[in-house]
Copies of this chain bind each other. A is one copy, B any other.
Amino acid sequence: MLSEFDLIKQYFRRARTGHAVLGIGDDCALLAPTPGMQTAISTDLLIEGRHFFAGADPRMLGHKCLAVNLSDLAAMGAKPIGFTLALSLPGADPEWLEAFSNGMFALADEHDCELIGGDTTRGPLAICITVFGEIAPGHALRRDAARAGHDIWISGTLGDARLALAGYWKEVALDADDLALAAPRMHLPTPRVELGRALSVLPLAHAALDISDGLVGDLAHILDASKVGATLDVDALPAGPALAQQSLALRRRFTLAGGDDYELCFTAPAAQREAVIATAAGVGVPVTRVGRIEAEPGLRFVDAAGKPVEMDVQGWDHFSGE
């Protein structure tokens, strides 16, 4: 007789797509690394009520859990290979499990990223994914590789995920249309895997990371690791289409310190401007130049006229933040 435990596993077992030598069902999965390639690894733990609302749509949740991990691979420029899923569930609801696994596998299939192992237990709803990718030695986009004189680039747009959250929280009055425009950025982030790979393969970009906790807080990681500073043009920051309709103050605040953007922030030499734009266009992702790396430590802000502006912003901290 199948236990509830076995039934859950059924939602996650599929025909093999081929990366793993041995997939789900043994003590370990086995991967055969491509000769000469390095393995990129990232892990994220998402907790109900902190990273997503209680009662969140399971299909979108399945997408998002994997997306935030793929976004870490994108930020290194790595090619996705596979992932493990450890799942704590308060109970076994077949409808929930089917929707969750469908959302997760739809995104996994887009990126040819195979579920190779996992663990299931009863407990508060919590999802831990560990993702594996491959990258050629010396090509990883590292946080310590920014140099004075580099341009700072952002993929896509910022702030709509944060605007949606502000709408749910009634922090900002959003009409239904605006919320409908912004909400997918919060629930269904698009990991910039192809862009990250294109930037690392050539290589065009030097430093990169994915913006998950707000641009200012995340850019600080690059500045710290590279021992440099930067100036950002706060009015060049690409606001999402819903946020673009809001006040200047809100646009600045949510593009600088939103959260859940999952766009790439990367640096590249000024001589590569045309190449960066062409490469990004080649993978269908708009990129915007938003500032410059400088030798002087610290982060400074200027407006569209180049005039210094003071901004009081903080990154999003999944531990101390609410």
What's the nearest-Cβ distance from chain B to residue A74, in Å?
A: 8
Known contacts A30-B39, A30-B135, A121 near B84 by CB under 8 Å: no
A233 at the interface (CB under 8 A from B): no
Question: What per-residue 1/0 map shows which CB atoms of A88-115 lie under 8 Å from chain B?
Answer: 1000100000000000000000000000
Question: What per-residue 1/0 map shows which CB atoms of A133-149 lie under 8 Å from chain B?
Answer: 10101001011100000
Of A31, A92, A209, the most chain B CB neighbours within 10 A belong to: A31
A45 partner, pick from B27, B128, B319, beta carbons under 8 A: B128
Known contacts A43-B86, A84-B130, A318 near B121 by CB under 8 Å: yes
A40 at the interface (CB under 8 A from B): yes
Q: Is the pair A319, B31 in contact by a Cβ cutoff of 8 Å?
A: no
Q: Report the Cα distance A45→B317, complex, angstroms.
A: 23
Q: Please provide the chain A residues from 142 to 170 with a CB less than 8 Å away from any CB of chain B in the complex.
A: 142-144
What's the nearest-Cβ distance from chain B to residue A67, in Å?
A: 14
What's the nearest-Cβ distance from chain B to residue A26, in Å?
A: 5
Q: Is the pair B25, A40 in contact by a Cβ cutoff of 8 Å?
A: no
Range, interface on chain A: 35 or more
Q: Is the pair B117, A41 in contact by a Cβ cutoff of 8 Å?
A: yes
Q: Is the pair B123, A41 in contact by a Cβ cutoff of 8 Å?
A: no
Q: Report the Cα distance A45→B85, complex, angstroms.
A: 9
The 3 A-B residue pairs whose C-beta atoms are closest, nearest first, are: A5-B319, A128-B128, A47-B123
Q: Is the pair B122, A319 in contact by a Cβ cutoff of 8 Å?
A: yes
What's the nearest-Cβ distance from chain B to residue A95, in Å?
A: 18
Of A44, A123, A135, the most chain B CB neighbours within 10 A belong to: A123
Q: Is the pair A27, B43 in contact by a Cβ cutoff of 8 Å?
A: no
What's the nearest-Cβ distance from chain B to residue A321, in Å?
A: 9
Q: Is the pair A318, B117 in contact by a Cβ cutoff of 8 Å?
A: no
Known contacts A27-B72, A123-B50, A209-B27, A45 near B130 by CB under 8 Å: no
Q: Report the Cα distance A42→B51, complex, angstroms.
A: 24
Known contacts A45-B88, A128-B45, A319-B121, A30 near B22 by CB under 8 Å: no
A291 at the interface (CB under 8 A from B): no
What's the nearest-Cβ distance from chain B to residue A180, in Å?
A: 29
Known contacts A42-B117, A84-B41, A123 near B126 by CB under 8 Å: yes
Residues of B within 8 A of A143 (CB): 25-27
What's the nearest-Cβ distance from chain B to residue A225, in Å?
A: 7
Q: Report the Cα distance A290→B38, complex, angstroms.
A: 43
